[in-house]
Structure 1
Amino acid sequence: MAPAAAQSERKRNTTNLTKHLSKIHSEVHKELQLKRAAATENPAATPTPRPRYQSTLEAAFQKGKTYPDDSPRAGNITDLIAKMICLDLQPISIVEDRGFNALMKYVDPSFKMPSRKKIKEETITHMYTAFCNEVKRTLENAESVVLTTDMWTSRSTQSYLTVTCHFVHDWQMVEYVLEANCFTEQHTAANISLALKRITDHWGITQKVAAVITDNGANVVAAVHQAGWTHYPCFAHTLNLVVKDAIKAVPEIVNLLHKCSAIVTFFHHSSKATEKLSNLQKQLDMPEHKLIHEEMNLIQPTIEALRLYEQATQEISSSKQVSMSKLHLYLKQLHLYLKHLHLYLKQRHWYL
C-alpha cells in the first residue's frame, strides 16, 4: 500500500481530471484553458471568493433572543436612555422612533427597547425619587442656603414659578433647581409667598434661607418679605433695566433700532425680497449692507458700552463662584466708561 501522505497528495492532484477533459471533453477543456490564460493576464478581474465564517455555537443560540427582564445589562441600557432623555431634553417618544430603534438594534441586537410607558412611569420616576433623596440628604448638611426665584411665561402663555437653591458643600458652590411648576394662581404677593414657603417646607430648608434674590417685580419682592426672608435684587436684571432705560432716553438710538427692526421684519416676511437682495449683492459684488457713516458714529460706542454690560452680567451670573465682591468693581468701571461716552456724544451734538 502507498503511504498515507502519497494518497493524500494524489487526492488533491487534478492532473488526471485535466487529461480526461482533454481526451474526452475537448470543448470543455479548451474553455478551461482560455479562462486560465485570462486569469493569468488580469488577476484583478478574477473574483475573490468571499470568506465564510462559521458562527460559534453560543452565538447561534443567542441569535434572535433578547435579554430577560432582570438582566443587569438591559437595565443599565434602559437607565442610560432615560438619562439621555432628561439631560438632552428629548421627548420620551424617542423610544418609538424607527431610527433610534434601528441604532439600538445594531448596537446590541439582544436589547429590547422599553415602552414609552415604562420609561415614563418606572425608569424616570425611580431616577427622580433617588435624586430627590440625594438632594435632601445634601441639604440636611447645609448650614444656610440662598434662593433665587423667577416667574416667567412659556411660549404657550402659561405662567411658571422656578426656585433654585444655592449653598456651599465641601468648599464647592452647589445649586439645585428645587421646582419649576406651572403657577395657576393670581400673581399676588400672598399667593407667591405661600408657594415659596410650600417649596422650602418640602425640602426642609425654610429655617435655613439666608436671603432670596429676585427681579424687581413689586409682587415678588413683597412675597419674599411676607415669608420673613431677606431680599436682594438681581444685579443682572437691574443692569438689563438700566440698558433698556438708557436706550429709550436717546431718540437717535431708538430711531436707529426702529429702522433695523423694520428692515429685518420686511425681509423675514418676504422670501422673494430676500432672494432678490441676495442676487443683487452677488451681481454687484457687494458685501452686506452697512449703516451710513453718521449713524456708525453713534452705534459703535453704544455697542462697546453694551459689551461691558454683557461681560458684567456674565461674570455676576456665575453659579460656581461668589460674585458679590465684584459688584463694586463693575459698577465703577461702567460708571467711568459711561462718563466718557457721554462726553464723546456731547461733543458730536448727539445730546442737545
Structure 2
Amino acid sequence: MKHIKTHHKSVNLTINDQQKESTENDCQRIDAFISSVESMQSGGLSDNFDQEIAWWVIWNSLPFRVVEQKGFKDIVKTLNNNYSSPSRNKLENIICKLYEVKSNQMRTFLDDVKWLALTADGWKDIKNQISYVGVTLHFIDNYQMMSICIKANQFTGEATAERIESVIRQTCDEFAIDIARVVSITTDAGANYKKAGKNIAAHIHCVAHCMNRVVEDGLENSLLLSDTVENVRNIVTAFKQSSILMDSLRNHRLNNEDEPLKLILRCCYSLKLNLFNDT
C-alpha cells in the first residue's frame, strides 16, 4: 500500500474514492435499515400490517381476542421480530374506522342506484339468549345482482312491528337511502315482520320460508312421514351416543373405500327438506 501511495498516486486516489463511495453506500444501507425497522415498529409499514390483520379477522369472522393469544403472537414474532401485533382494543378501533370508510364509500355508490329492494329477518342466539335483526340491500349494477348486508345488530326488547319498522328505517337513513327508492321488502310470514314490511314498501313473502311451512303442514297431516322423521332422529341419536356403533359405521365406509362421514342431527327444517330431496 505504501508503494502504491509513493509511485502510483493516481491509482491511490482511485482506491480512496472507491473506499469513500463504499463507506457512504454502507451508511445509506444502514440508515435505510434503521428507517425500515422504525417504520415496522411504529410507522406506515406497521399500520399496513395492522390493517391486513384486521381484514383477516373480518373475513374469517374471528373474535378480537385472537390477536392477544400466545400462539398468534409467536407466529407474528417469527415472521418479523420488529413488528408488534395490535391489541384487542386497537384492533376494534381499526375495524370501526374501516367500517366508517366502507360505509361512506357505500353511500356514495348508492347515490347512483335508482331502485332498491330489502330483506329483513330476526333470529336468536339460543346459547347466549341474544336476539338479532338483519337487513340486506339488493340492487342491479351493470346487469349483475348485488346483495349487501347493511345491518346485523343485537335487538333488545320486544320485537313489535313498530320497533322492527323503526330499525329498518333507521338503517336506510344511515346509508342515505330514500324509502321512496325501495320497491319491495322480503320477510318471513311472522306477523311482526310482515306488518313492518308492509308499512315500508311492497311486501314479498320469503319463498324458502313458505316452502318450509308447506313441508311442516304436510308432515303434520302425514303420520307415515312423521314416524319416518322420528325414526331417523332416533337412529342418529343412537349412533352419536355409542362409540361402538360409530366405529362400526366408520370401518364399514373405510372397507368400502368411502370417506368417513359425520352423522348430523339436523334441525327440523333441514331434516324435512332432505327427506323430500332423497326420495
- 1:140 paired to 2:105: no
Of 172, 183, 194, which residue of structure 1 is paired with 2:155?
183
- 1:220 paired to 2:189: no
Give 1:84's aligned residue.
56
Of 96, 107, 120, which residue of structure 2 is paired with 1:149?
120
**Partners of 2:41 and 2:84 within 8 A in 1:** no
Of 253, 267, 285, which residue of structure 1 is paired with 2:225?
253
Q: 1:184-239: CA deviations, max 9, x gaps?
A: 13122222122221211222212211100111112211112223x11011112111
Of 128, 135, 158, which residue of structure 1 is paired with 2:99?
128
Measured after TM superposition, the shift of residue 276 of structure 1 is 5.7
- 1:211 paired to 2:184: yes
**Partners of 1:67 and 1:112 within 8 A in 2:** no
Give 2:259's aligned residue.
none
Measured after TM superposition, the shift of residue 286 of structure 1 is 9.4
**Partners of 1:66 and 1:111 within 8 A in 2:** no
Report the CA distance shift for 1:222/1:106 in structure 2 as closer, same or farther (over 3 A): same
Query: How many residue pairs were aligned?
Result: 235
How does the TM-score come out when normalised to structure 1? 0.59
Give 1:171's aligned residue.
143
**Partners of 1:67 and 1:110 within 8 A in 2:** no
Measured after TM superposition, the shift of residue 87 of structure 1 is 0.6
Whole-angstrom distance in 2 between the partners of 1:153 and 1:219: 15
Give 2:244's aligned residue.
275
Give 2:6's aligned residue.
none
Q: Gaps (5+ residues) in structure 1? A: 1-55, 288-301, 308-340, 342-352
Whole-angstrom distance in 2 between the partners of 1:167 and 1:280: 48
**Partners of 2:41 and 2:83 within 8 A in 1:** no
Report the CA distance shift for 1:67/1:109 in structure 2 as closer, same or farther (over 3 A): farther
Paired residues for 1:1-352 under 5 Å: 58=30, 67=39, 71-121=43-93, 123-155=94-126, 156-205=128-177, 206-227=179-200, 229-268=201-240, 270=241, 273-275=242-244, 278=247, 305-306=276-277
Report the CA distance shift for 1:274/1:258 in structure 2 as closer, same or farther (over 3 A): same
More strand by share: 2
Q: Gaps (5+ residues) in structure 2? A: 1-26, 257-272
Amino acid at match of 2:244: E
SS for the counterpart of 2:39 is coil
Amino acid at match of 1:103: I
Whole-angstrom distance in 2 between the partners of 1:145 and 1:280: 51
Q: 1:90-144: CA deviations, max 9, x gaps?
A: 11112112222222222222212222221112x1121111000011111111101
Whole-angstrom distance in 2 between the partners of 1:165 and 1:281: 44
Report the CA distance shift for 1:261/1:133 in structure 2 as closer, same or farther (over 3 A): same
RMSD: 3.3
SS for the counterpart of 1:178 is strand
How does the TM-score come out when normalised to structure 2? 0.73
Q: Percent identity?
A: 26
Q: 1:72-104: CA deviations, max 9, x gaps?
A: 221111100000001101111121122222222
Whole-angstrom distance in 2 between the partners of 1:68 and 1:80: 14
Amino acid at match of 1:150: D
Give 2:261's aligned residue.
none
SS for the counterpart of 1:67 is helix
Amino acid at match of 2:53: I
